[in-house]
Amino acid sequence: MVSVVRGYLDHLAVERGLADNTLSSYRRDLNRYLAFLAARGHTALDGVTESDVTEFLRRLREGDSDHPPLGTNSAGRAVVAVRGLHRFALREGITATDPAGGVRPPAPPRRLPKAVSLDTIESLLGAVPAEGDPRAARDRALLELLYGTGARISEAVGLDVDDLTRVSAGGSGAEGADGSGEVSVVRFRGKGGKERLVPIGRFARGAVESYLVRARPVLAASGRGVPALFLNARGGRLTRQGAWSVLRAAAERAGLSDISPHTLRHSFATHLLDGGADVRVVQELLGHASVTTTQVYTMVTVDRLREVYAASHPRANAAG
């Protein structure tokens, strides 16, 4: 069974391109699954039944003497790993049946994304000066880009200068942004190495171009010529932790709390839908593999419509 798990994880790494953190979580979940099966007398996956898989899920939720109870998301991830392992074993001819196919992960509670108002976004962005210190220009460009494109923070700090494209002066073709011309599209590398192109609006474009022309060369002078778009004070690539610090400092200056990079991403999606954007367009912009993931934002906008209706319509609160 150990060799089957090893082959499955290799498949996920090579064929599916799963992130290292996800692979580590799957390895931990599957090692626990193998220990559970061994305790029930199984020495091969061929003899595993659906009741074994169901009991494993129950143990995950209830915990035991060696493990605390797992929450819905963690237990669901473990079940997904187990289901994938059995599908892999069946496909490779290692087993004749898939005992996990009928076992569903526990349904997570519906959690609406946290989005903030446009006024709050403007207060946050206004807390960082657009000019002056090179790091201030960088910080303004970073925050404008996060909100203006809905990027994950890891995607933003992973950008290289050549990931920015501009329409040439003649109006045709696209070139890497070099401090001249108009940045119009950003190429992000999302989960699993998937790439997507996202348009960049006027405010974010202006902040990024100002940073490229006036600030990045100053920061780059302290480094070794790395291609990263966002640089730290030593001229190296700005880290995820460094970007978090930029956002935290801006939020403190603006007197805001509970602001995270995902707050900006959620607000980006919610504001687009509020403005009439199609959910499938928002799906593409966010880089979601399934539109189901994006549809949770439509719940946010419906709740907002209810609030406006309740506060505005003269008979909204009338007794029925």
Give me the pLDDT at residue 114, please.
Answer: 80
Type and span of the H or E element at 53: helix 50-62
Task: Tell me the residue length of the chain.
Answer: 320
Q: Is 33 a catalytic residue?
A: no
Give me the pLDDT at residue 109, please.
Answer: 66
Give me the pLDDT at residue 288, please.
Answer: 84
Of the candidates 237, 265, 266, 271, the residue annotated as catalytic is 265
Q: Is 191 a catalytic residue?
A: yes
Give me the pLDDT at residue 172, please.
Answer: 39
Of 216, 225, 220, 154, residue with least CA distance to 190: 154
**Residue extents of the structural domains in the chain:** 2-91, 120-258
Name which of 20-29, 251-260, 304-313 the model is least confident about.
304-313
Cα torsion through 57, 63, 68, 72, rounded to 10: 40
Helix (H), strand (E) counts: the chain: 13, 4
79: left (phi > 0), else alpha (psi -120 to 50), else beta? alpha
Of the candidates 196, 214, 262, 304, the residue annotated as catalytic is 262
Of the candidates 152, 166, 216, 271, the residue annotated as catalytic is 152
CATH of the domain spanning 120-258:
1.10.443.10
Over residues 162-184, the pLDDT tens digits come to 999 863 333 434 444 444 445 58
Alpha-carbon 241 to chain mean position: 15
Give me the pLDDT at residue 306, please.
Answer: 72
- Cα separation, 301 vs 305, whole angstroms: 6
Instruction: Say whether pLDDT at 125 is over 90.
Output: yes
Give me the pLDDT at residue 210, please.
Answer: 92
- Cα separation, 193 vs 155, whole angstroms: 10
Q: What is the mean pLDDT of residues 18-45?
A: 91
Of the candidates 8, 26, 147, 297, the residue annotated as catalytic is 297
Q: What is the mean pLDDT of residues 94-121?
A: 84
Of 52, 59, 31, residue with least CA distance to 99: 52
Instruction: Say whether pLDDT at 216 is over 80.
Output: yes
When pLDDT is cut at 50, 70 and 90, the band that residue 71 belongs to is confident
Report which DSSP code applies to 227: -
Helix (H, G, I), strand (E, B) or coil at 185: strand
- Cα separation, 81 vs 86, whole angstroms: 9
Give me the pLDDT at residue 189, please.
Answer: 87
Give me the pLDDT at residue 112, please.
Answer: 64
8 Å CB contact between 265 and 244: no
Q: What is the mean pLDDT of residues 147-157?
A: 93
Entry pTM: 0.59
Give me the pLDDT at residue 315, please.
Answer: 65
What b/e readout covers 28-40, taking b as 16+ CB neighbours within 10 angstroms? ebbebbbebbeee
Q: Is 265 a catalytic residue?
A: yes
Q: What is the mean pLDDT of residues 210-222?
A: 94
Of the candidates 191, 214, 240, 304, the residue annotated as catalytic is 191
Instruction: Say whether pLDDT at 72 is over 90.
Output: no
When pLDDT is cut at 50, 70 and 90, the band that residue 130 belongs to is low
Of 113, 131, 127, residue with least CA distance to 218: 131
Percent of the chain residues past pLDDT 70, beyond the cut: 86
Name which of 21-35, 165-179, 242-256 the model is least confident about.
165-179
Sheet containing 174-176: which strands, arranged edge to edge? 174-176, 164-167, 182-189, 195-199
Class of domain 2-91: mainly alpha
Over residues 108-119, the pLDDT tens digits come to 666 666 889 999
Token readout for 47 is 């003899």
Same fold? 2-91, 120-258: no
8 Å CB contact between 54 and 6: no
Q: Is 152 a catalytic residue?
A: yes
Chain mean pLDDT for the chain: 85
Q: For 273-282, which contacts have Cβ atoms below 8 Å and span 24 or more sequence positions?
A: 273/297, 273/298, 273/300, 273/301, 274/301, 274/304
Q: Is 86 a catalytic residue?
A: no
Report which DSSP code applies to 237: B
Instruction: Say whether pLDDT at 286 is over 50.
Output: yes
Of the candidates 83, 86, 237, 288, the residue annotated as catalytic is 288
Percent of the chain residues past pLDDT 90, beyond the cut: 51
Give me the pLDDT at residue 170, please.
Answer: 36
When pLDDT is cut at 50, 70 and 90, the band that residue 300 belongs to is low
- Cα separation, 119 vs 126, whole angstroms: 10
